[in-house]
Amino acid sequence: MISVIIPVHNAEKFIEETVASVRRQTYREWELLLIENGSEDRSLEVCNRLAEEDRRIRVLKCKGRGAAAARNTGTVSAIGRYQCFLDADDIWKEDKLEKELAFCREKGAAFVFTGYEFADENAKGTGKIVRVPETISYEEALGNTTIFTSTVMFDRKKLPLKLMLMPKVASEDTATWWQILRSGYTGYGLDEPLTLYRRSARTLSSNKLEALRRTWNLYRKVEGFGVFKSLRYFVKYAVRAVLRRL
């Protein structure tokens, strides 16, 4: 079974469409954990209705705030051998789980990810596709923006729980990939765009200056790098981030 974890915070506008992309999956043995995280709109009402429609969907409330707390709530509650994250406004292509699971098993991997396509606010693909390498190491990931949260899959039998739990820092997802790779695991990339990454002006990750600031803080405060070492990786990251969005 695959456990799919979606943090839900004021996601009323998109969550139904996102959940529909999970329900359309050709791979059917999944559970979906909707982690309600302090929404002030009708998100909880929508999630509860979706859970009534499909017994594979569970709605959980997060005690803390923020994406890291929500995803960690899902991680400790998941029962599947495999685990995926999906942001509440992104869309999976219908064969995403089937193809990624087959790839994960083929590689005997603990940690895999796929390519993806940028989409507009209406989830229409823009044609801008992010390609991913066959493998990625800790050293390579420090200067690379390739791994996107909604494309990741873990084998929970091969990864210890402490590595799957996200630290409560800004850019917690990137920090998690680094902590896994730093522990000696290799990330394997399936170079197919199986996710639509919806971008809108209000999305935090669409704020380029904020993204750069958060990444700099990861180097300095989470990885503990000095200024010059941080700058070396930061330049690589910034160049690739700009090229990825052109």
Range of the domain at 45: 2-201
Give the least confident one: 27-36, 109-118, 140-149, 194-203.
194-203
Share of the chain above pLDDT 90, in %: 83
Residue 50 counted as domain residue: yes
Tokens of 68: 């890291």
Q: Dump pLDDT digits (tens) for 51-74.
A: 999 999 999 999 888 999 999 999
Residue 164 counted as domain residue: yes
Share of the chain above pLDDT 70, in %: 94
β partners of residue 83:
3, 154
The pLDDT, as a whole number, for residue 208 is: 73
Residue 150 counted as domain residue: yes
Average pLDDT over residues 174-180: 97
Residue 209 counted as domain residue: no
* Residue whose pair of structure tokens reads 């791979």 in the numeric block: 27
CB 90 within 8 A of CB 16: no
Within the chain, strands assigned E span 2-8, 30-36, 57-61, 82-85, 91-92, 111-119, 125-130, 135-136, 153-155, 187-198
The pLDDT, as a whole number, for residue 201 is: 54
Is the model's pLDDT at 243 over the cut of 70?
Answer: no
Q: Dump pLDDT digits (tens) for 229-242.
A: 999 999 988 877 76
Q: What is the CATH number of the domain that holds 87?
A: 3.90.550.10
Q: Dump pLDDT digits (tens) for 84-126.
A: 999 999 999 999 999 999 999 999 999 999 999 999 998 899 9
Residue 212 counted as domain residue: no
Task: Report the number of distinct structural domains present in the chain.
Answer: 1
Average pLDDT over residues 156-175: 96
Residue 175 counted as domain residue: yes
Residue 219 counted as domain residue: no
The pLDDT, as a whole number, for residue 239 is: 77
CB 19 within 8 A of CB 6: yes
